Structure 1
Amino acid sequence: MATYLLVHGAWHGGWCWTRVARILRDAGHNVYTPTLTGLGERAHLAGPDVDLECHINDVLGVIDNEELADVVLCGHSYGGQVITPVLDRRIDKFRAAIWLDAFVPTDGHSLMDGWPPERAQHVRKQVAAIGEGWKIEPMTPDYFGVMREEDADWVTRRCVSQPIKTFSQAVHLSGVWETVPTKMYLLAENHPNSSFDRFSIPLSKKPDWDVRAVAAGHDVMIDTPDLLAEIFLELS
């Protein structure tokens, strides 16, 4: 029996893992799908002071309070920005880590630091104009490559705005996260607006990384839950 800790991406919540979690639990495994502060069913906790460190502490809290060990950790998209420092601070708790079409941060840099300057400027203007000065409105499902109408409707209903500080706060890493025994990067081939090959290509040249392409849109756990669960089960 394995323990999986699955961290969602921006604007989403633990809800997005429902299909994958069901498959893993039916196979006899423990699955945790926490919702980060200010998102999903915790949207009422959103505010201008919610930052990346808050989300890191959300996940650390699950690990510590549930007394988890030998964990398979996965971060989707923005979730990669969260799980990397989590690994850095609790490296002894993990057997494997998966970056699912995700950001792989570098020490001293924020997620927004990796955006083209014009995009960062546009987002900041949007936040000032329609985000009350502190929140970023969610992208539409088609941006993520969610094509089935029922899935797109579900994603539209459930996604909420996210505090900009979670994107603009720099991450601090010692580098110990890289010693996790198994490291996997999954690139979604059908993400129409992807730039994640800037992570997958250099990582594919490292012998201690398992880098794969999956035939899915960015929300892989919604698009192809059976395929994703099958990959996760390889690490059980």
Structure 2
Amino acid sequence: MATFVLVHGAWHGGWCWSRVTPQLQALGHQVFAPTLSGLADRSHLLSPTINLQTHIRDITGLLQWEDLRDVILVGHSYGGMVIAGVADAMVERVSALAVIDGYVPENGDSAFSHRPADRNAETLAMVRAQGMGWQIPPYSAASFGVNAADQAWVDGKLTPQPLACFSQPIRLTGDSDKITRKLYLRAGDYPNAHFSALADKLTADPGWQVTEMACGHDIMVDQPDALAAALATLA
């Protein structure tokens, strides 16, 4: 039995893993799918003080208080930033990493530093116009390439993201380089130059296994069976 901790991306919540969690549990694995502070079922805690470090502490706290060890950390999109910080802080408790169409940062990076300038300008304009200067309103499910049948469901659950989560640089010591089992899953039907370049880079890195899936950005919604099977290979 393995222990999986599934970390969602921006605007999402633990709900997005609802089709993956039971499949991993059916294989005998322990699965945690927490919601990060200020989002989804924790949106009542939304505050301008929530940043990337807050979310890293959400997950390090989970590992500490649930006494989790040999953890397979899984991060979707922005969640890749979060699990990078968690793995660096608690490398002795982490056995493997899986990044789902997301960020694999280096020390000093932020989510904004991995996005094109025009995309960041668009986001900041949304923050000023609709987010009181500190909330990033959610993008639509359609913009993530979610299949048509699930778009209304996903749109109904997306909530604003604190701006500081994207702007705060991550601080890494390099300790997580000790983790040797690492998986990167790229959503082939979601155009994103950074994620495509990152997948190409990691393909050349013997420390990473890279796989492409034919679906939109929310792989856990569009291809939950294939995703669960891919994650199970790390167990």
TM-score (norm 2): 0.97
SS of 2:156 mapped into structure 1: helix
Q: Match of 2:225?
A: 226
Q: Match of 1:177?
A: 176
Q: Match of 2:81?
A: 81
In 1, the alpha carbon distance for the partners of 2:233 and 2:126 equals 42
Q: Match of 1:19?
A: 19
Q: Deviations over 1:52-109 (max 9, x none)?
A: 0000000001100000001111000000010001100111111110011011112112
Q: Deviations over 1:168-200 (max 9, x none)?
A: 000001111121120111111111456311211
Q: Match of 2:2?
A: 2
Tell me the CA shift for residue 118 of structure 1.
2.5
Change (3 A) 1:194 1:225: farther
SS of 1:19 mapped into structure 2: coil
Q: Match of 1:134?
A: 134
Contact 2:189 2:217 survives alignment (8 Å): yes
Q: CA RMSD, aligned part only?
A: 1.1
Moved more, 186-195 or 202-211: 186-195
SS of 2:10 mapped into structure 1: coil
Q: Match of 1:120?
A: 120
Give the % identical residues.
43
Contact 2:79 2:103 survives alignment (8 Å): yes
In 1, the alpha carbon distance for the partners of 2:52 and 2:138 equals 17
Q: Match of 2:203?
A: 204
Tell me the CA shift for residue 12 of structure 1.
0.2
Tell me the CA shift for residue 226 of structure 1.
0.5
In 2, the alpha carbon distance for the partners of 1:5 and 1:68 equals 9
Contact 1:145 1:192 survives alignment (8 Å): no
In 2, the alpha carbon distance for the partners of 1:162 and 1:53 equals 14
Q: Deviations over 1:21-59 (max 9, x none)?
A: 011112211000010000010001001111000000000
In 2, the alpha carbon distance for the partners of 1:200 and 1:90 equals 25
SS of 1:4 mapped into structure 2: strand
TM-score (norm 1): 0.96
> Deviating runs (4+, > 3 A) in structure 1?
192-195
In 2, the alpha carbon distance for the partners of 1:230 and 1:93 equals 23
Q: Match of 1:67?
A: 67
In 1, the alpha carbon distance for the partners of 2:118 and 2:212 equals 29
Contact 2:3 2:31 survives alignment (8 Å): yes
Q: Match of 2:155?
A: 156
